[in-house]
A and B are shown apart, each in its own frame.
Chain A
Amino acid sequence: MNKETFLEELRGYLRILEDQEQEDILEEYAQHIDMKIQKGLSEEEAIRDFGSMRELAAEILEAYHVKPEFDKKSSPYQPEIKWNKMKDTGKQFRKMGSFLKNKTKACIQGIRKCFHWCGRKCRALALWVWKPFSKAGTETKGAKTEEAFIHMQDTDLTGGESGNFPVNHMERTRQTPKEEGSLNIVKTVNIAQRRKRGWISAFLRGLIKTWDLFAAFCIWWIRLFWNLLWLFMALFFGGMALITLAGVGVILVLLPQGYPMVGMLLICLGGMLCMGALCCGSYSLILRRKKEEQETEKRETEKQEIVEQETEALVPSRSDYR
């Protein structure tokens, strides 16, 4: 132990004393050690002559009429042990946190899948309901295929599989490049049918196109509304969590002063956790939408590329449908 560490350690024991007094006595010890070194002793030897640090500190405190139990409180080792304990608990908390994170991730995945499944079923139902109307509305064969194409685009936009439509089969074949032969067959059939189309189909096409635009517009607005709603909710819950956190802070200050706030503290803690969870949940809902949008965009662009290649080769008027 050298002079500096000795003095610092001793200062740790003497924290109960006023700063001026600490300086005073430590100055004496520093000078004593210096003198010993001048006499030819090493730093180590000079310090060893003082004996046990604890006893020395106890003696100094006794000279100031300080109760000996304060010596234990002011010993510098206690806080270190506490720190270690805190580190351990911190590690445990982190482990628990990562565990919870994984579990919540899994839960969110499950909920997401559930939503996807529900969405698919709803869409299938809607298409099933729509099917008879579309059949009634379209008399000619060509128009029917048009209808099918539009529906295909619709399903692409919302990013899922439709029910038992003929389009669905086509979509599948496009997604799997192995069946390129069958895809080409379907294509050529479609194109042959389109050449036969009359003015009714043209009219219907226009009608369906405007309807499509309107639907897209509606979807855009609904999506915007949805995102804004959840953004607002996330901000609201986050704000509430912060307010309850501030409340917890205030109560923690008031509690030691004797205010009967234990119930309030529990309420605030619960509120904080609840609000935090709701905030995270709301935010994750926004993210989910964004991801889906990206996926559908990607899929759409892929589809468009395929359609473009085919239209360039065969029918120039196909570009209307995109």
Chain B
Amino acid sequence: MSAITELEWRVRMNPQFKKGVLELIVLESVRKKDMYGYELVEEVSQVIDVNEGTIYPLLKRLTNEHYFETYLRESSEGPPRKYYHLTAAGILYRDSLEAEWEEFQMRVSRFLKEGKEHE
């Protein structure tokens, strides 16, 4: 892993993995701070390399499922921006996703470790 740079790793990551954790990353980003679309895209891009277009549908879906609330705020440059805010339901959902992720990651790494020990 050390041979691969941070950027390369972001790009190379299996798209199926990326898709699975994208939701969690978005939820976590919005939990830290209310964000507007573009800001969020940039934030997520720092963690995993993802098609910019795919984040908006995700935001839309999470909003429709009431995990996000949106509000408009004036900006100094250009039109008012739509900010996303995590609701109480969103926080619960994020926590459950995080727990799932921990469990998933733990099981997979344990399995891989067992495989290495058998060799």
For the complex, is B77 an interface residue (Cβ under 8 Å from A)? yes
Tell me if A63 and B52 are in contact (CB < 8 A).
no
For the complex, is B10 an interface residue (Cβ under 8 Å from A)? no
Interface of B is mostly: helix
Q: Bin the interface of chain B by size.
A: 20 to 34
Taking CB atoms and an 8 Å cut-off, the chain B residues in 44-83 that contact chain A are: 51-54, 56-61, 64, 77-79, 81-82
State how many angstroms separate the Cβ of A266 from the closest Cβ of chain B: 49
Tell me if B60 and A50 are in contact (CB < 8 A).
no
B82 closest partner in A (C-beta): A28
Known: A64-B60, A64-B64. A31 touches B54 (CB 8 A): no
B53 closest partner in A (C-beta): A50
Q: Which residue among B36, B38, B56 has the maximum number of chain A CB atoms within 10 Å of its CB?
A: B56
Provide the residues of chain A in CB contact with B41, threshold 8 Å. 32
Q: Which residue of A24, A32, A34, A60 contacts B52 across the interface (Cβ within 8 Å)? A: A32
Tell me if B37 and A62 are in contact (CB < 8 A).
no
Tell me if A24 and B60 are in contact (CB < 8 A).
yes
Tell me if A60 and B79 are in contact (CB < 8 A).
no
Q: Which residue of A49, A51, A59 contacts B57 across the interface (Cβ within 8 Å)? A: A59
Provide the residues of chain B in CB contact with A32, threshold 8 Å. 37-38, 41, 52, 56
Produce 1/0 per residue, A55-87, CB < 8 A to B: 110011011100000000000000000000000
Provide the residues of chain B in CB contact with A36, threshold 8 Å. 38
Tell me if A56 and B64 are in contact (CB < 8 A).
no
Tell me if B53 and A59 are in contact (CB < 8 A).
yes
State how many angstroms separate the Cβ of A180 from the closest Cβ of chain B: 94
Provide the residues of chain A in CB contact with B37, threshold 8 Å. 28, 31-32
The complex places the Cα of A254 from the Cα of B37 at a distance, in Å, of: 49
The complex places the Cα of A59 from the Cα of B56 at a distance, in Å, of: 9
For the complex, is A38 an interface residue (Cβ under 8 Å from B)? yes
For the complex, is A25 an interface residue (Cβ under 8 Å from B)? yes
Provide the residues of chain B in CB contact with A255, threshold 8 Å. none
For the complex, is A230 an interface residue (Cβ under 8 Å from B)? no
A30 closest partner in B (C-beta): B79
B78 closest partner in A (C-beta): A34
B57 closest partner in A (C-beta): A63
Provide the residues of chain A in CB contact with B61, threshold 8 Å. 63-64
Q: List 13 A-B contacts (CB under 8 A).
A: A25-B57, A28-B56, A31-B38, A31-B81, A31-B82, A32-B41, A35-B78, A49-B51, A49-B53, A51-B53, A59-B53, A63-B60, A64-B64
Give the B-binding residues of A (Cβ under 8 A): 21, 24-25, 27-29, 31-32, 34-36, 38, 49-51, 55-56, 59-60, 62-64
